[in-house]
A and B are shown apart, each in its own frame.
Chain A
């Protein structure tokens, strides 16, 4: 896609979306208040890790919290790529960024209140960021680049000096150590959503979540079994302040329940006892659901990549030819079947939907002969390799497939299966023996391509423990390119093209063997309006789009 066309496209879509939203809002205010909206029940296999905006770091948690805690900025409530656009949330406008890219200025809308009636103040943002560090959130890592954050963590300062706020005017100024093109994205994550100072600062608030600023508030939590979301009575104050990108609720109450049996959930939705299941139906039930309920089931895109990592520092995968051979040998279609038909084939790092994605194919295949030939040319001395995967059923099957392919290529591969909860820390620990190659996937934290390159492929992140750079990739000139690009804004001219080129540059080195983008699902009862519901690329199902069908 050319740049000009893309800009045009984006503009048109934005305009359309704005119109659509306005229309939506209208029908809401009339329909919502009179009919009462109704109750919706949702099931998920794993309860959210935390019901706490600063702590939650799972898809389940983000799905629930997206429409509960609104950050200064937020993401558009739109399906597809439009949803990756950052728009003003509690802030009046997009940030004013200084020329050096280090200073962000925002203004909080005035007159807004949390669900308990407490006014929302600019200093609540500071409180939230400080809280992020105090509760040792997994998300705190993203905000370490704020000036004074490290002193605050070390206890050398009582507050983060790089954030200044004025509760009267609502002004918020954030200083960064270095320019960071991902920072607007980061401001749109719930990690940075303001919470009132009544929230315990250094404690997980799951059992008594802070009052909300979004269309829903969480009225009761019984972790890890159930939680109830109800309309936020004060949400009108947020709307009146002009936050029209924050969609309003169309149902009165959503009850989220954990149900460990995927199959029972499928049956529940089929029989209209459950309105929506968060997890995709198991591969086992999927064919039946697709065949019988096509009017309330569909596959949904999501931004992620499934790939095999190969340790580029050790034989045999230190040889480019060997890594290319693997890329030729694997068959994305076979893996899609093993996965139950929810893996769209790919051979590149960035997934569709991510800015910078441009489709290409470097290793047409599957071509086992070509793979064998490359392997013969490389003639690695070490052919005894270990293939790693975790113990989730579909990943076990992926591992078994991969091991078999490697054996057919001429390796002597053995399979190692690790409990899912410790898998990534095990393969991310350089001292684990026999880390040759294996399964991995990456689901975006936020829709900025840097989130795919820096943690996964940057030489700086080739860490001894807890590394995500499983291939131990260390290519200094590409690292430099990453550093250069991240200083710019994604909307700057040529940035997305440069990211696309970076993607290709890494795949020319065959640092991974990518093979698929997992698709999520929407499967709903008859009671819900299927046409209106959609899955957001970042936050999955948008609960504000839930409406009763009539």
Chain B
């Protein structure tokens, strides 16, 4: 087991390294994104640009630039080209908003998915099941940003039930915090509710036919007890696994659209701005941040799975 974990952790570092190199290269082979010219201002002359370039170390060979950049990321000294602000600090400042959004949405999507999935499964084939299936399919067919825009338009502008976006820190005013985040939470959760409820439904239907469930029934447990204690509990394993992966993906960049439309000052919004201005330092840092979460949760899930099911560990190369 220890060896397996070590192997996964090494793999994790390798993946992050590969990603950092790819992002670095993408943005260094693009023509015309000369940051020095932008910093030097609209009236800059060649001499000033040359000095700025020197200052930024942009005349160094690419590998040296890469090493410098990575060193600065990990020592917290990286500053953005376009605003001269510390990148790590900006990301740190964005984390509370992004985490508030993601954790809140995750709670909502899990709660609704379990209720809907459970109801669908126990009423499989019935009217309620059909209705929930339709809703779930619509949920997974909605473009997130469009849903956000429409909710904002109708509920914030036309009816003025909700604020027009923005983020209020939890520490400042918990009520306002929740009030501002309610629409974003729902927006982000809808897709997952649709998906998870359907997955739970089919997973429960599978489990219901397993031998041990029949045994439980034979022991004289009530149908309700069978469903919650045996069926639901066992059906949740794949859902929880998946949840780990999806949560990593959402924190690691998946929330960018929701943050953009609802104007939430999180990591995603910061990333969107950095990309829009082709500003390499924040772009590197944000991609690494996102990739880190995705890889981290992937690894955790892998290790948990290996712990639960030893066969995986022995396989030649785990998926």
* A→B interface (CB under 8 Å): 47, 49-50, 57, 136-142, 144, 153, 204, 206, 223-225, 259-261, 263-264, 267, 391, 419-422, 424-426, 428-429, 432, 445, 455, 463, 465-466, 468
Contact = CB atoms under 8 A, between A and B. Distances in A.
B69 to A, nearest CB: 19
A419 B48 contact: no
Contact of B48 (A50, A141, A261): A141
A259 B40 contact: no
A138 B32 contact: no
Contact of B263 (A142, A260, A455): A260
28 contacts: A50-B84, A57-B41, A57-B42, A136-B39, A138-B41, A138-B42, A138-B43, A138-B48, A139-B41, A141-B44, A141-B45, A141-B48, A144-B45, A204-B84, A224-B85, A225-B265, A260-B263, A260-B265, A261-B165, A263-B165, A419-B277, A420-B277, A422-B34, A424-B42, A428-B37, A432-B32, A455-B43, A466-B49
Nearest to A265: B164
Contact of A49 (B40, B49, B83, B157): B83
Interface string B154-181: 0001000001111000000000000000
A261 B166 contact: yes
Given A136-B40, A138-B40, A425-B38, 18 more contacts: A47-B83, A49-B84, A57-B42, A138-B39, A138-B43, A138-B44, A138-B48, A141-B44, A259-B166, A260-B265, A261-B165, A261-B166, A264-B166, A429-B32, A463-B45, A463-B46, A466-B44, A466-B49
A223 B85 contact: yes
Contacts of A225: 265
Contacts of A264: 163-166, 263
A156 B260 CA distance: 50
Interface of B: 31-34, 37-49, 51-52, 55, 82-85, 157, 163-166, 263, 265, 269, 276-279
A421 B38 contact: yes
Contacts of B157: 263
Contacts of B83: 47, 49, 223-224
Contacts of A424: 42
A289 B55 CA distance: 46
A289 to B, nearest CB: 14
Nearest to A57: B41
A422 B278 contact: yes
A259 B33 CA distance: 27
A264 B156 CA distance: 10
A426 B38 CA distance: 10
A136 B48 contact: yes
Given A136-B55, A421-B276, A429-B32, A142 B165 contact: no
**Closest 6 interchain pairs by CB?**
A138-B41, A421-B277, A261-B263, A425-B37, A426-B32, A264-B164
Contacts of B51: 136, 153
Given A136-B48, A260-B263, A264-B164, A422 B269 contact: no
A15 B177 CA distance: 54
A206 B48 CA distance: 21
Contacts of A206: 84
A428 B37 CA distance: 10
B4 to A, nearest CB: 44
A261 B263 CA distance: 6
A141 B265 contact: no
Contacts of B44: 138, 141, 466
Nearest to B43: A141
B32 A261 contact: no
Given A141-B45, A260-B265, A422 B164 contact: no
A136 B82 CA distance: 14
Given A260-B265, A465-B49, A466-B44, A425 B32 contact: yes
A468 B45 CA distance: 11
Contact of B43 (A153, A204, A445): A445
A267 B162 CA distance: 12
The interface centre, meaning the residue of B33, B44, B47, B164 with most chain A CB atoms within 10 A of its CB, is: B44
Nearest to A206: B84
B132 to A, nearest CB: 35
Contacts of B43: 138, 141-142, 445, 455, 468
B42 A422 contact: no
A419 B35 CA distance: 13
B85 A422 contact: no
A259 B264 CA distance: 10
A153 B46 CA distance: 14
Nearest to A418: B32
B14 to A, nearest CB: 32
Contacts of A429: 32, 34
Nearest to B272: A260
Nearest to B279: A421
Given A419-B278, A425-B37, A261 B84 contact: no
Nearest to A138: B41
Given A50-B84, A141-B41, A261-B165, A422 B46 contact: no
A102 to B, nearest CB: 21
A506 to B, nearest CB: 19
A139 B39 CA distance: 11
A140 B48 contact: yes
Nearest to A258: B265
A445 B38 CA distance: 16
B32 A260 contact: no
The interface centre, meaning the residue of A144, A425, A426, A428 with most chain B CB atoms within 10 A of its CB, is: A425
Contacts of B47: 153
B246 to A, nearest CB: 27
Contacts of B265: 225, 260
Nearest to A202: B55
Given A138-B43, A138-B44, A264-B164, A421 B278 contact: yes
Given A421-B278, A425-B34, A465 B46 contact: yes
Nearest to A451: B43
A384 to B, nearest CB: 21
A465 B37 contact: yes
A419 B85 contact: no
Contacts of B39: 136, 138
A434 B265 CA distance: 38
Nearest to A464: B46
A54 B84 CA distance: 15
Nearest to A58: B41
Contacts of A426: 32
A422 B45 CA distance: 17
A465 B164 CA distance: 42
A409 B35 CA distance: 37
Nearest to B33: A422
